[in-house]
Structure 1
Amino acid sequence: MTFAQVARIIGEELPPSAYKHPAWWGSDPKHTQAVWLDVGYLARPGLRARQVTFIRG
Structure 2
Amino acid sequence: MSFAQVARIIGEELPASAYKHSAWWASDLKRTQAVWLDVGYMACPLTARQVTFIRA
By the TM > 0.5 criterion, same fold?
Answer: yes
Residue number in structure 2 paired with 1:46:
46
Unaligned runs of 5+ in 1: none
2:47 and 2:14 map into 1 onto residues whose CA distance is: 13
**Residues 1-57 of structure 1 aligned to structure 2 (within 5 Å):** 1-48=1-48, 50-57=49-56
Whether contact under 8 Å (1:20, 1:47) holds in the other structure is no
Give the TM-score, by structure 1 length. Answer: 0.91
Question: Shift of residue 46 of structure 1?
Answer: 1.9
Question: Shift of residue 30 of structure 1?
Answer: 1.1
2:47 and 2:31 map into 1 onto residues whose CA distance is: 18
Unaligned runs of 5+ in 2: none
2:15 and 2:46 map into 1 onto residues whose CA distance is: 16
Runs ≥4 residues deviating over 2 A: none
Give the TM-score, by structure 2 length. Answer: 0.93
> How many pairs were matched up?
56
What is the Cα-based RMSD across aligned positions, in Å? Answer: 0.8
